[in-house]
Structures are given as structure tokens and as C-alpha cells.
Copies of this chain bind each other. A is one copy, B any other.
């Protein structure tokens, strides 16, 4: 006789229950979905570490604790504000490169002497905000309180909050110019005061980090006393600790033990200084009041004029220290003092298996790290090569479309007049641009050739490689390579392409060229091409398009008075999407009429702002560019039949063949010279900076 079995609870599959996923994890957490079923990795590179985790945490301390829970290693990187605006532009390029390695966060030091809370390109706040908003690095801002009023600190923190910064490293700060420290009975005397103040004024909004001193603070009465001070900082509300530099793993591990013994339970991250040069080492040692161990001095002194040798030694030494720290089993994260340089930190991180060189893209475009945009999952394709500009122009949006573009008709795009904002600037000089784009333009064909050289990699007629165009400051994307041969031919004939993507029909989401998102998915693209071309071409194109109803098009002139399309103004067209396990379809890139009209101003504007202005005001070269700006059309084409190949090139070949009036297709400088009655460009702005 069988008995009726009562079923009150799960039997024998409790571990499967753990497969349940947490809330608020869309979309970037998807990356961890597959690994969570196969156990936790405790070694080496954790893909998407800095930008994606499951669940998605926006608070830095949560991210750190998650790594601890998952027993995953990570690294972070420290920078200081550069002295010049050009330096700031270069530092941003470095941020972009560091991002590829997958750091958990970066931090930016506070330069009390350099108006750190100001608006200049070199202020601590600007650099930190740029790293966060435009480079996609989660960013912590240093803040020192010595000799500051509460009002000033409050204002600085409010501004930081407005900019999206959610983490602060609270420091006392040194007395200026080596003065003795004086007690301030009405203000901030210790970092503890600052921690308390931040908690009191801003509650839990900020994650607060404080500094630990493995060698003891230079002003501390004793090592033990210093640990007690640290305990006070934590008790006042600090979330975690980053240590000052040290020269031996044992120094840190002893300090760590002392902290734990004193009841400090928050994460303690060792600060690692890769020695990169003799003078920087001496300077840092002076600032920190530390003694460099004799065995290090013995190595460095003889090679003090050979920076590369010192750097290699520094890489070797730091790698060794970090390995010891990891081997102790008590360290997961490492904080690198980069000194704003890339190589040493990158090499150490690579040696340790922390550098994720082949980072799986979470989305086909680079997300910002600003927590207000954590749910942003769709962008118009137009800004594909100008993501910083897109972030800048949408910085005031209250919310970001979640799951679909939907509300593209409501939020207005910010004005694109600030072509010279440092974080939107090219890091090329005017001289470099002239070399690449032509010292003198004599006809439109000269312009066509710049475009085709950029795509082909062949030198221009001055023998210079064209590594950028006004619409694209970077090398061409790997996926553009798939189209490159066709694009070069088109550009030579005056179809000046600025954005493109090939059709993709269900390739693996891990594909190194077109893949994005978590593994196990399938990605798709509709073929897309955006270009400037002449009126003749445009008219011929319209005729050809009659035979291709599967193609959506937008055609617009620089004023917007001509605006021809065959798609619904309020209906975005998904051009990139992905299908992933356990999720809705993700459609992160769209073509839509409304944002195209905003993009049009920017795209046309770049002809004048970035290109025309490198030439003298009345020069023929400038006239050529202005003529293109004034008479060309900006056109985009979407081939909706993505499983069936790409008809866009076929269409454009037909257009070139069928041009109504081929003799007018190229407009030469001779014609321009004769046209004295031509209305000159009225733009009176100065030259490119």
C-alpha cells in the first residue's frame, strides 16, 4: 500500500533554488547569468567587472562586497587632475583605455591649490565627473577638509552629487607648504570630522572611503594610536578603507591584522604604487613621509636616468607584492596609484590576470557610469562614433528610456554649440588635422579622398595617414571593416559615409566583432548607412529607392527645410537588437526621425566647426567645405531585410549609374571662383582652438 505523500517543501534541490535571480538586474547583469549556474570564479579576469554585475549595484561599497561574496578579484585606479586642458583631453583618452581593462572604479585626487571644485577642465570635480559621465568609469572623488568651511564642503558635495558622483574619499589633507598642523576649533580637524559631516548632511547618499596607513600616519603618536584613529573614522560612517602605499606585502598584512583585531570590519584595500621613475618615487616618498627600503634604493639608484628600466623594475616589484597579497588569501582588490600613466598599471594587472582585454561589451555602445543612467538601454545610432556628445546633450534628461525608445518625442536634446568643451574635443592639434584633411582643398574630390583614405588606411596625397574625420575621432570600428571595401569605393565617388553597420542575422552574442551582452544570446542588426551627398545624388537615389520598399530612409538638408522620409515620425526603427536567455528582447540602437533632426545640426555643424575653421576665413579650402555644408544632404538608409543580405550598396551603385545630371556631380574650385555673387558663409566664429 502506498501512502499519500505530503508535499510541503522542496526535496533535494535546494541548490537549484539558488538559481533564482534578483531584482533590478536589467540589462547589464545578464552577463553573469551563465556563470552563476556554473559556480563562482575566484581566479583571474571577471568579464564586465566594472560595468556589469548581477545584480547591478550602483553603490561602490555594494560592488566591493559583492566581489567579496563571490570571491572575485578586482583592481581600481587613481589619477590626479592634470595641469592643462590639453592634459585633461589626454587623460580622458587614458580613461577610455583603462576602461577596457575592467577596473572596478577610479578615483581622482583633490588639489586644494588648483580650484578643485571649479568648472575648469583641470579641476578635480570636472575630471571626476568626466571619468564618470563620459568615460564610463565608476568614480570616487577625493575631498580634503583642512581649513575648509562647512559651507564650502557642503557646496562641493552638492555639486558632486549633482554630477552623479556617489563616492568620496574623505581626507584631512596636508597643511599647505609643509606648515605645521594647527587645530581649528570651529571647523574640520580630522578626516573623522569630515566623515561625520558627510553622513550628517547627506545621509547614506555617498559611499565614504577613508585612508589607512600601513606604516602608521607620519603624525601619529604610535601605530596603535593610528589604528584607533582609523577605527574612529570607520565608526563615524566610513564604508571602506584604501591604504597608503607600502613596500612589502607583510607591511599591509600586519596592518590588516591590527585593524581586524581593533574591530575594524570594513573592506581594506591595499594601495599599490608601481615605481615608474626616480623622481616621482622621491617626490611621493617625501609626501608620504615614508622610508624607501634599502634593497629598492639599491636597485633604483644605479638606473635612475633610465625611466624604462625603472618602470620595468616597478612592474616586477609590484607584481610580486600583489601576488603575495593574493596568496595570503586575505586580499581580493588592489588599488593602483597610476600617476596618470597607463603602462605600468596595465602590465601589473595583466601579470595578475586582472586585466580583461577582451571585455564583452554589455551593449553595442559604451554606457556611462552615472547611476541616474543605469537603466539606459537604447540610443539613436547617429551618435555611434560620438558617444560623449550624446551623453553631454542628454545630461539633463530626468529618466532614460527603459526597454524601448518610446518617448523619443518628449525630451529635448541639449544644444550642440559647445564644440570645444574639453571632453568633446579631439586630442589632435590643428596642425595634425591640416596634415590629415588637406593643406589646401581645390575641389570636392579632395574632400572625398580624405574620407576614402580614412577608411582605406592609405595615405592622403600629402603622404599622411588619415586617422580621424570630424565625425569620428577614433579608428574605425571592427565591424566597419566588414563593409570597408564598399565604403571606400562609395566615398571616392562622393558618398561621404559617417556611420554604418553591416546586417547581422543571429550571430553569437560573444562574437568578438558584432557581439555584445551576456553569453548565450543572439544578436541582430539591420544594415545601416549614413552619409552626406550632393543634391544630384540624392535625387537619383530617391528614384532608385522606389524599387526598394524594404528600405527606410531619411533625407535632410542643413536647414531642415527639406526633410524626406518614408517612416513614421514617432516610430523608432530598431536597428540593433539581441535575444538573450531569460529576458525580453533588448533593442539598444534605433533610428528615429526626431533625434535625427537634432543629430543633423551636429553632423552638419562639424563640417564648419571642425573642418572649415582649420583654413583661413576667405580661403578656397574653407569655401569648398562651406559649399558642401550648404548644399549636401545628410541621408540614412536602413535595410529591413536583414536575413537576406544588404541591398544598400546595390542601391547606391544604381544611384551612381543613374544620376540625372552627371556633369554636375563634382563641383570644382574654378566654378566656385567664378561665382562671385555666391552668398558667403556668415559664420564669424574664431579659428579652431
Residues of A within 8 A of B (CB): 1-5, 7-13, 16-17, 19-26, 34, 37-38, 402-406, 505-506, 520, 522, 524, 535, 539, 542, 545-546, 549-550, 552, 557, 561-562, 564-574, 577, 579-585, 587, 590, 631, 638, 640-643, 664, 667, 671, 674-675, 678-679
Contacts and interface: CB of A to CB of B under 8 A. Distances in A.
B25 A671 contact: no
Contact of A404 (B24, B404, B505, B641): B404
Give chain A's interface secondary structure class: loop
B404 A584 contact: yes
A4 B584 contact: no
Contacts of A406: 402-403
B582 A566 contact: yes
A59 to B, nearest CB: 20
A166 B561 CA distance: 40
Contact of A582 (B579, B640, B643): B640
Given A21-B571, A549-B581, 10 more contacts: A9-B561, A10-B562, A20-B569, A25-B568, A34-B549, A571-B582, A573-B581, A574-B583, A577-B579, A582-B640
**Which of A20, A21, A564, A582 is packed against the most chain B CB atoms within 10 Å?**
A582
Contacts of A569: 20-21, 23
A377 to B, nearest CB: 11
B23 A550 contact: no
Contacts of A643: 506, 522
Contact of A574 (B37, B573, B579): B579
A587 B578 CA distance: 12
B570 A23 contact: yes
A552 B581 contact: yes
A160 to B, nearest CB: 31
Contacts of A587: 584-585
Given A4-B675, A539-B12, A550-B520, A573 B583 contact: yes
A552 B584 CA distance: 13
Given A13-B564, A573-B584, A582-B552, A5 B631 contact: yes
Contacts of A25: 568, 571
**Which of A10, A406, A577, A664 is packed against the most chain B CB atoms within 10 Å?**
A10
Contacts of A26: 568, 571
Nearest to A14: B564
Contacts of A582: 552, 566-568, 571, 573, 638, 640
Nearest to A17: B564
A562 B664 CA distance: 76
A4 to B, nearest CB: 5
A674 B2 CA distance: 8
Contact of A10 (B3, B564, B580): B564
Contacts of A552: 581-582
B550 A19 contact: no
Contacts of A562: 7, 9-10
A631 B7 contact: yes
A561 B38 CA distance: 27
Given A579-B642, A587-B584, A590-B584, A1 B671 contact: yes
A512 B193 CA distance: 73
A571 to B, nearest CB: 6
A539 B11 contact: yes
A153 to B, nearest CB: 39
Given A539-B13, A557-B7, A568-B582, A1 B674 contact: yes
Nearest to A21: B568
A642 B9 CA distance: 33
Nearest to A37: B549
A520 B552 CA distance: 12
A642 B506 CA distance: 10
A568 B536 CA distance: 54
A38 B524 CA distance: 28
Contacts of A572: 584
A379 to B, nearest CB: 13
B583 A4 contact: no
Contacts of A583: 571, 573-574
Given A19-B565, A37-B549, A564-B17, A405 B4 contact: no
Contact of A7 (B2, B38, B405, B535): B535
A435 to B, nearest CB: 30
25 contacts: A2-B664, A2-B667, A2-B671, A2-B675, A8-B561, A9-B561, A10-B564, A13-B539, A16-B564, A19-B566, A23-B568, A23-B569, A24-B570, A25-B568, A37-B549, A403-B404, A405-B584, A520-B549, A520-B640, A520-B641, A522-B642, A566-B582, A571-B582, A573-B581, A574-B579
A624 B356 CA distance: 59
Contacts of A24: 570
B37 A566 contact: yes
A12 B410 CA distance: 33
A540 to B, nearest CB: 11
A628 to B, nearest CB: 13
**Which of A22, A34, A552, A584 is packed against the most chain B CB atoms within 10 Å?**
A584
A570 B564 CA distance: 41
A551 to B, nearest CB: 8
Contacts of A678: 4
A402 B520 CA distance: 27
A522 to B, nearest CB: 6
A443 to B, nearest CB: 13
A417 to B, nearest CB: 24
A7 B562 CA distance: 8
A524 B524 CA distance: 13
A557 B6 CA distance: 12
A414 to B, nearest CB: 24
Contacts of A667: 2
Contacts of A9: 561-562
A34 B548 CA distance: 11
Given A4-B675, A571-B584, A585-B574, A20 B566 contact: yes
Contact of A22 (B7, B506, B568): B568
A569 B566 CA distance: 40
A567 B545 CA distance: 45
